[in-house]
């Protein structure tokens, strides 16, 4: 190899290295910009997801809540008969608890605003222990409360204290204690709850709902008899829209 | 100087094998990315159900349940989209592989513990009603398949039709020029060029 060609080769290598260095620099900048853009987009999507699914705050005094003779509970302003929002729940069902936490305030607000007649149907969807027993004990105790407002407070209390699906929970002692905590003063409550006097009544109602096969699981929210999918029931803004639109149509 | 295999003359046959393999990567990207994107999109609008689905596995503490429930759909959408367009391909494939591995562990453990839950993979999820049976085997097979896609992409990124190539973000900056023939001077544009630069 002559000296000239080796010099030329060296120059060529130097030029290549310089070009490569520049390219590496460009690559690094592109990488940083790309990662930054992706991060911003990810945060944006997350923010949107949280914002559009935010729960409502309770506004104003609750509309009257009345316990019916069949054990269902109606929450509506006097004279409001439509749209009917039927809520089928099980005290032991974790998804029901999640829905109450997410959308419970929306249902209450809509009732307060006179935009819906909300009807709670408590059933026992579970067929195996310990969930079945937990559900039956809680449902039976809740049926011992005749006052609507106290029932609603108890309903919330039970969800807040919902046991895991793998343990025995909703003990009679707790059920009685929680009743007193939400202000149940009725002297018959303790013996009714402790004696599980309403279990048969609850089971009868629950079986009636399940055998009608209108619902496939809990929670189910129906507006004028039509079930909402969970992307509506679990998204407060969508739930509100669905119910308000049902009132118009 | 390191002589790369790709730097030597490549026969037509191995070149076409190479081409086929990189199209396989593209297919794997589309399958894995498509599934992730759909799974995330179906969940993102109702994060409360996503939180509930995560909780139903009874594996994570409550604080993490919230984070995973809200975060997972976002991760799925972003990673899915990145895989489809072939941007940050290898990193995305690694993350999706880890996510799939976590799904496999979660579903297998739910099965082993006798939980009767819907995997919540595409929204919904949680406790199943009586009379409905979980389909853990199918869910596991599907996730193993997707895990294999992720592994393939990690091994051979970014495949054809990838933004990584367009933007020059691939490991070898000049992939097309490496096949030009033997270059005894030690082509600095090869993958190991940076070693030559620092020495």
Confidence of residue A33 (pLDDT cuts 50, 70, 90): very high
In a domain, B110, yes or no: yes
Which two three-digit tokens encode residue B39?
């799974």
| Inter-chain residue contact B127 with A35, CB threshold 8 Å | no
Closest A-chain CA to B164: A31
In a domain, A60, yes or no: no
**pLDDT, position B191:** 40
- B51 contacts in chain A (CB < 8 Å): 98
Mean pLDDT calculated for residue range A224-236 = 90
Confidence of residue B178 (pLDDT cuts 50, 70, 90): very low
**pLDDT, position B56:** 84
In a domain, A70, yes or no: yes
Give the mean pLDDT of chain B.
80
Q: Is A227 in a helix, a strand, or coil?
A: strand
- CB-based contacts of B99: which residues, under 8 Å, 6+ apart? B36, B72, B75, B76, B79
**pLDDT, position A68:** 94
Q: What range does the domain containing A41 cover?
A: 1-52
Q: Which of A125, A46, A222, A7 is nearest to B43 (CA)?
A: A46
**Which DSSP letter does residue B7 get?**
G
| Inter-chain residue contact A165 with B77, CB threshold 8 Å | no
| Inter-chain residue contact A20 with B197, CB threshold 8 Å | yes
Q: What range does the domain containing B60 cover?
A: 13-177+187-193
| Inter-chain residue contact B127 with A165, CB threshold 8 Å | yes
CA distance B29 to B81: 10
Number of domains into which chain B is organized: 1
Confidence of residue A151 (pLDDT cuts 50, 70, 90): very high
- Shared domain check, A105 and A40: no
CA distance A126 to A130: 9
In a domain, B3, yes or no: no
- Shared domain check, A14 and A118: no
- Shared domain check, A80 and A30: no
| Inter-chain residue contact B70 with A24, CB threshold 8 Å | no
Residue A227's DSSP bridge partners are A222
Give the mean pLDDT of chain A.
92
Mean pLDDT calculated for residue range A215-230 = 88
In a domain, B7, yes or no: no
Q: Are B79 and B36 in contact (CB under 8 A)?
A: yes
A93 CB within 8 Å of a chain B CB: yes
Confidence of residue B1 (pLDDT cuts 50, 70, 90): very low
Mean pLDDT calculated for residue range B142-148 = 96
- Shared domain check, A106 and A202: yes
CA distance B16 to B13: 5
Compare B102 and B130 and report the one with higher pLDDT: B102
- Shared domain check, A197 and A108: yes
Is the per-residue pLDDT at A112 higher than 50? yes
- B49 contacts in chain A (CB < 8 Å): 95, 98, 230-231, 234
Residue A88's DSSP bridge partners are A121, A220
Please report how the helices A148-160 and A172-181 are oriented relative to each other, as an axis angle in degrees rounded to 10.
130
**pLDDT, position A179:** 94
Predicted complex ipTM: 0.75
- Shared domain check, A9 and A46: yes
- Percent of chain A topping pLDDT 70: 98
**pLDDT, position B130:** 60
| Inter-chain residue contact B194 with A35, CB threshold 8 Å | no
Number of domains into which chain A is organized: 2
- Read off the CATH number of the domain in which A98 is found: 3.40.30.10
In a domain, A155, yes or no: yes
Q: Counting one residue from A and one from B, how many pairs have CB atoms under 8 Å apart?
A: 118
Q: For A53-94, what is each residue's pLDDT tens digit?
A: 899 998 888 899 999 999 999 999 999 998 999 999 999 988
| Inter-chain residue contact A53 with B74, CB threshold 8 Å | no
Q: Are A106 and A234 in contact (CB under 8 A)?
A: no
| Inter-chain residue contact A16 with B188, CB threshold 8 Å | yes
CA distance B156 to B150: 10
Mean pLDDT calculated for residue range B60-88 = 94
- Shared domain check, A222 and A141: yes
In a domain, B8, yes or no: no
Nearest C-alpha of chain A: how many angstroms from B73? 9
In a domain, B37, yes or no: yes
A52 CB within 8 Å of a chain B CB: yes
**HSE-up (13 A, CA, CB side) for residue B167:** 20
Please give the C-alpha separations between residue B38 and each of A30, A45, A233, B169, in angstroms, as whole numbers.
28, 15, 21, 26
Mean pLDDT calculated for residue range B14-29 = 92
**pLDDT, position A9:** 92
Mean pLDDT calculated for residue range A221-230 = 91
- B173 contacts in chain A (CB < 8 Å): 20, 23-24, 27
CA distance A77 to A221: 19
- Which uninterrupted H or E stretch holds A86? strand A84-89
A88 CB within 8 Å of a chain B CB: no
- Shared domain check, A148 and A96: yes
In a domain, A165, yes or no: yes
Please report how the helices B47-56 and A94-112 are oriented relative to each other, as an axis angle in degrees rounded to 10.
150
Q: Which of A53, A21, A14 is nearest to A237 (CA)?
A: A53
**pLDDT, position B181:** 38
Q: Cite the DSSP H helix spans in B59-178.
A: 62-85, 89-112, 136-155, 163-166
**pLDDT, position A166:** 82
Confidence of residue A141 (pLDDT cuts 50, 70, 90): very high
- A27 contacts in chain B (CB < 8 Å): 168-169, 173
CA distance B39 to B124: 11
**pLDDT, position A172:** 94
Q: From the list A93, A102, A217, which residue is nearest B48 (CB)? A: A102
Mean pLDDT calculated for residue range A164-171 = 89
Mean pLDDT calculated for residue range A150-178 = 93
- Shared domain check, A119 and A77: yes
- Shared domain check, A221 and A134: yes
Among A72-81, A176-185, B182-191, the minimum mean pLDDT is found in: B182-191
| Inter-chain residue contact B128 with A217, CB threshold 8 Å | yes
- A125 contacts in chain B (CB < 8 Å): 129-130
- Shared domain check, A70 and A41: no
CA distance A184 to B172: 74
**pLDDT, position B125:** 63
Is the per-residue pLDDT at B145 higher than 50? yes
- Shared domain check, A97 and A2: no
Q: Which of B114, B110, B81 is nearest to B95 (CA)?
A: B81
Confidence of residue A135 (pLDDT cuts 50, 70, 90): very high
Residue that is written with structure tokens 């498509």 in the block: B34
- A49 contacts in chain B (CB < 8 Å): 44-45, 47, 70, 73-74
Confidence of residue B124 (pLDDT cuts 50, 70, 90): low
Q: Which residues of B touch A (CB under 8 A)?
A: 44-49, 51-52, 55-56, 58, 70-71, 73-75, 77-78, 82, 87-88, 123-124, 126-130, 132, 167-169, 173-174, 185-189, 193-194, 196-197
| Inter-chain residue contact B45 with A24, CB threshold 8 Å | no
Q: From the list B56, B78, B197, which residue is nearest A17 (CB)? A: B197
Q: Are A121 and A87 in contact (CB under 8 A)?
A: yes
**pLDDT, position A230:** 82
Closest B-chain CA to A220: B129
CA distance A130 to B138: 28
**pLDDT, position A110:** 96
């Amino acid at each position: 190899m002559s000296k000239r060609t080796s010099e030329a080769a060296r120059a060529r290598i130097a030029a290549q290295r310089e070009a490569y260095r520049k390219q590496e620099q460009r690559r690094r900048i592109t990488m940083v910009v790309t990662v930054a853009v992706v991060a911003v987009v990810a945060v944006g999507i997350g923010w949107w997801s949280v914002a559009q699914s935010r729960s409502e705050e309770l506004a104003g005094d609750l509309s009257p809540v009345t316990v019916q003779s069949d054990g269902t509970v109606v929450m509506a302003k006097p004279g409001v008969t439509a749209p009917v929002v039927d809520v089928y729940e099980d005290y032991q069902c974790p998804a029901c608890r999640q829905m109450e936490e997410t959308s419970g305030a929306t249902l209450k607000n809509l009732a307060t605003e006179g935009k819906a007649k909300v009807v709670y149907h408590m059933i026992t969807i579970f067929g195996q222990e310990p969930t079945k027993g937990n559900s039956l004990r809680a449902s039976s105790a809740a049926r011992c409360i005749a006052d609507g407002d106290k029932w609603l407070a108890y309903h919330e209390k039970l969800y807040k204290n919902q046991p895991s699906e793998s343990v025995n929970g909703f003990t009679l002692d707790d059920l009685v204690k929680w009743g007193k905590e939400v202000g149940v003063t009725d002297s018959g409550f303790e013996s009714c709850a402790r004696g599980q006097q309403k279990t048969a009544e609850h089971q009868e109602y629950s079986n009636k709902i399940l055998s009608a096969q209108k619902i496939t699981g809990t929670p189910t929210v129906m507006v004028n008899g039509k079930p909402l999918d969970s992307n509506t029931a679990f998204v407060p803004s969508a739930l509100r829209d669905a119910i308000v639109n049902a009132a118009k149509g | 100087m390191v002589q790369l295999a790709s730097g030597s003359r490549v026969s037509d046959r191995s070149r076409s094998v190479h081409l086929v393999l990189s199209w396989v990567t593209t297919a794997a990207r589309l399958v894995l990315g498509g599934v992730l994107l759909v799974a995330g999109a179906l969940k993102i609008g109702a994060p409360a159900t996503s939180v509930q689905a995560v909780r139903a596995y009874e594996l994570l503490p409550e604080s993490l349940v919230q984070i995973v429930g809200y975060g997972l759909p976002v991760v799925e959408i972003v990673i899915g989209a990145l895989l489809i367009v072939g941007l940050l391909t290898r990193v995305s494939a690694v993350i999706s592989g880890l996510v799939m591995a976590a799904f496999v562990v979660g579903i297998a453990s739910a099965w082993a513990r006798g939980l009767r839950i819907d995997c919540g993979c595409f929204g919904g999820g949680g406790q199943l009603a009586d009379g409905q049976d979980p389909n853990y085997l199918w869910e596991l097979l599907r996730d193993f398949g997707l895990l294999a896609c992720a592994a393939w992409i990690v091994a051979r990124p970014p495949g054809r039709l990838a933004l990584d190539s367009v933007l020059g973000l691939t490991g070898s900056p000049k992939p097309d020029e490496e096949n030009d023939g033997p270059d005894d001077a030690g082509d600095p544009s090869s993958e190991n060029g940076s070693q030559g630069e620092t020495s």
